[in-house]
Structure 1
Amino acid sequence: MQQALNKKWWFTPFILLLIVILLHVLALWPWFIENVYSAYVYPPIAYLLRLLTGWLPFSTGDALYALVAIWLIVKIILFFRYKPSWKKFGMALRNLAVKGLGAYIFFLLLWALNYYRYGIGYKMHLFPDRYSTEDLKTVTAQIREQLNASRKRIDSLHIRYGDDKTIFKEAADLYDAAKATYPYLSYPNHSVKKMLAGDIGSYGGFLGYYNPFTGEAQVNAKAPVFVLPFIACHEIGHQLGFASESEASFAGFLAVRSGNLPAFNYSAYFDMFLYANGELYSRDSIAARENVKLLDTLVKKDINTYRQYLYAYRNPLEPLLTKLYGNYLKAHNQPKGIESYDEIVAWLIAYYKKYGRL
């Protein structure tokens, strides 16, 4: 009897760990991930999840994570309330490991295997490579001009941003327009929602996230309204299976370019400029400062507003959370960690070299 109990103690965690290992071994074949999982397995999974949760008027992903946090707190309280022992502690760790491994397996199967695909470059025959400082200067100047022009257009046409639901719908419509040129950006059954805990997200440094367990793209509506359109486009990119941060941004950029919505154009080029000019600053600070001087006055005002937002939510835990998220990205095929977001610059330069425009 005792032998059977001992076997039961380790058997389930062992099987789950073996499944995790096998899935990571499978991830060593990006061709299979791209042409089988990302092409035929993931799309119906994502569609079904959006079908199940998309009709609800609130973020079920946020609610799910809140319930998990409450469950964990209750379990800890109950553990210490009823005569804790080392044996109970060991069983609690074992049960937590089983649940954690099970959740991680679902995480991989429901979405995260997309981290190991060839990605959008494979689809477009576009492969970003190392670029020179001159290439960076050229593209950053192009982005700056587009940024200034789109900001002036917003002002001249007296365009006002809609509420978050309007922004999310317009983001989805842009992807619907983009699929005519880029079929892999087809986005059926839309599901973009506002984060319920926007303040918590802001304190953690998150402008949005994709929930692989519910299929929802989450946007932090606490951020300045002019950055929300591109955040929504970025998160939809994740929904479509582009797990890499830079590829999700590039997918969003392609969607924005497929339409003619000034607010989205401005939001996209605003984001692209911050990354490109930030990279240029590390190589040629004089040229980067000159770019800032040449920005439209209203753009400078928006940059200041965005910085004030980031400053308002600074806290001692944010660097730790950023480091943890960076390590998470490194563990999932993004070796640059949090700097993976910056790799959008390489995509833009490759796109510019191929098509001669941005």
Structure 2
Amino acid sequence: MQQHKKLGIAVALLPLYFIIKYLGQYPEFIETYYSNGLYPILSYCFRFSFGWLPFSFGDVFYTLSIIYLTRWFFLNFKRIYKDTKNWIIDVFAVTTIIYFTFHLFWAMNYYRKPLHENLNLKADYSTEELIETTKILIEKSNFYHLQLAPNDTSMVLFKLTKADVMSKTPTGYKVLEKTHPHLKYTPTSLKKSLLSYPLTLMGFSGYLNPLTNEAQVNACIPVYKFPTTCAHEIAHQLGYAAENEANFIGFLASVNNPDPYFKYSGYTFALRHCLGELYRRDPSLYENVSTKINPGIYKNYQEVSNFWASHKNITEPLFRETYNSYLKANNQEKGMDSYSYVVALYVNYFISKK
């Protein structure tokens, strides 16, 4: 009887896949009944259940799961040849449960309406609009840089600890909540990942655990990157699965935070995206505009680049390509390149404020 149940669960994987893809064709339905219906309830319950823990329950769960699965494959290796049918059923049954749970708890958010539609923003922009936005971001970045650094050639040295940043991050969301009620963030569940060093080797600043809804931040990254990374992972928690959208919301939460270190981190974060897009469109325009940036800002950028360069290893490209494939399989056709599309949100956001 138990094996019949396993077979039923295993066989359900294929129809489950097609059901999810079918529902994914109706973003209005997902937006209404999942992203703004079921998901906020699930997210609240998970954050209430695990947010109070001083450590990442999800990291512990992942570690124990990897150990268990490794042990299971080792103990059941001979079954591949001796009991092939039941071995395959066991594997597919577990895969079905994980696939169903993953989409139920979080991943259906990949199929929701694009953020620019909810914010009534355009999805495209001209080079002239990009230049205008980049100049605004340069002005803002230079202003906060000079508030925090002794001169325009010095990098900003954060006086906040990483723990300070994590405790202050929800404040930006409290400000946003006044104009965007759907960004209400309570209770909190923001943790330093216990797996921070492995995340560093894989090239990731953080991640959201979809099974416990804990926002995980890589504790190894420079503190300068902490405000936007924490805010980015919270955006994922609130149901914004697309990386470009989480980047934009992370930017908004950072620049709306009253702390100047957050504002500096947020504006320079957006500025770097816009500079990259401007260079891609017209290197000569990039050279002209970028000369207006305080040299000290480039030193903060270099700090981050040096950090990642110092941890470069042969496995990083493999993990990044795996994640790239994961994004493409979850309704992000551009994969990791979709990060650049956040520029459209920045540009049209600033245009709308004129």
TM-score (norm 1): 0.91
Instruction: For 1:208 and 1:161, locate their aligned partners in 2 and report how far apart those are by CA, in whole Å.
Output: 22
SS at match of 1:128: coil
- The answer for the alignment partner of 1:161 in structure 2 is 159
Within 1, Cα distance between the matches of 2:338 and 2:326?
12
Q: Deviations over 1:270-326 (max 9, x none)?
A: 221221111111121122234443322221211111111110111112112111111
Structure 1: gaps of 5 or more residues = none
Count of paired positions: 350
Q: Is the 8 A contact 1:59 1:195 kept in 2?
A: yes
Instruction: Compute the displacement of 1:20 (Å).
Output: 3.3
Q: 1:85 to 1:168 in 2, by over 3 A?
A: closer
The correspondence of residues 182-197 of structure 1 with structure 2, limited to 5 A, is 182-197=180-195
Q: Is 2:176 the counterpart of 1:181?
A: no
Deviation of 1:136 after TM superposition, in Å, equals: 1.8
Paired residue for 2:315? 317
Contact 1:128 1:349 survives alignment (8 Å)? no
Match of 1:100 in 2: 95
Q: 1:238 to 1:154 in 2, by over 3 A?
A: same
Aligned to 1:31: 28
In the alignment, does 2:12 pair up with 1:18? Answer: no
The question of 1:238 aligning with 2:236 is answered yes
Change beyond 3 A, Cα 1:273–1:6: same
Q: CA deviation at 1:334?
A: 1.1
Pick closer, same or farther for the CA change 1:273–1:73 going to 2, 3 Å. Answer: same
- 8 Å CA contact 1:280–1:288 kept in 2: the answer is yes
Match of 1:47 in 2: 44
Q: 1:5 to 1:244 in 2, by over 3 A?
A: closer
Shift of 1:329: 1.0
Deviation at 1:339, TM superposition (A): 0.9
Which residues of 2 match residues 168-317 of structure 1 at below 5 A?
168-317=166-315
Aligned with 2:67 (options 53, 65, 70)? 70
Question: Paired residue for 1:114, among 104, 109, 115?
Answer: 109
Could you list the per-position Cα deviations for residues 74-130 of structure 1 after superposition, in whole angstroms to 9, with x for gaps in the alignment?
Answer: 1222234xx55513344333212211221111111111111111143233222322x
1:132 lines up with 2:126 in the alignment: yes
- Report how far residue 160 of structure 1 moved: 4.0
Separation (CA, whole Å) in 2 of partners of 1:126 and 1:14: 43
TM-fit CA distance, 1:18: 2.1
User: Which moved further from structure 2: 156-165 or 41-50?
Assistant: 156-165
The percentage of aligned residue pairs carrying the same residue is: 34
The corresponding residue for 1:337 is 335
Aligned-partner Cα distance in 2 for 1:202–1:127? 35
Conserved? CA contact 1:20–1:101, under 8 Å:
no
TM-score (norm 2): 0.92
Distance 1:92 1:63 in 2: 27
1:242-296 CA-partner distances (Å, limit 9, x unpaired): 1111111111222233332211111112221221111111121122234443322
Q: Deviations over 1:30-60 (max 9, x none)?
A: 1111111111211010000011111111111
Deviation per residue, 1:130-160 (Å, 9 max, x gap): x222222221222122112111112269984
1:321 partner amino acid = F
- Retained in 2: the 8 A contact 1:119–1:242? no
**Which of 145, 156, 159 is the equivalent residue of 1:151?**
145
2:324 matched to which residue of 1? 326
User: Distance in 2 between the 1:159 and 1:315 partners?
Assistant: 28
Alpha-carbon distance in structure 2 between the residues aligned to 1:282 and 1:156: 33
Could you tell me how far 1:7 is from its partner in structure 2? 5.7
Cα gap change, 1:159 to 1:125, in 2 (>3 Å)? same
SS class of match (2:207) = strand
Residue aligned with 1:209, SS:
strand
C-alpha root-mean-square deviation of aligned residues, in Å?
2.1
Question: What displacement does 1:327 show?
Answer: 1.4
Question: 1:88 aligned to 2:71?
Answer: no
Asked whether the equivalents of residues 128 and 347 of structure 1 are also in contact (C-alpha less than 8 Å), the reply is yes
- Specify the code of the residue in structure 2 equivalent to 1:70: I
Q: Which secondary structure state, in structure 2, belongs to the residue aligned with residue 269 of structure 1? A: helix
Q: Contact 1:219/1:231 (CA < 8 Å) preserved in 2?
A: yes
SS at match of 1:93: helix
> Matched residues in 2 for 1:322 and 1:238: separation?
19
In structure 2, give the amino acid aligned to 1:229: P
Q: What is the letter of the counterpart of residue 162 of structure 1?
A: L
8 Å contact kept, 1:209–1:217: yes
Q: Secondary structure at the match of 1:161?
A: coil
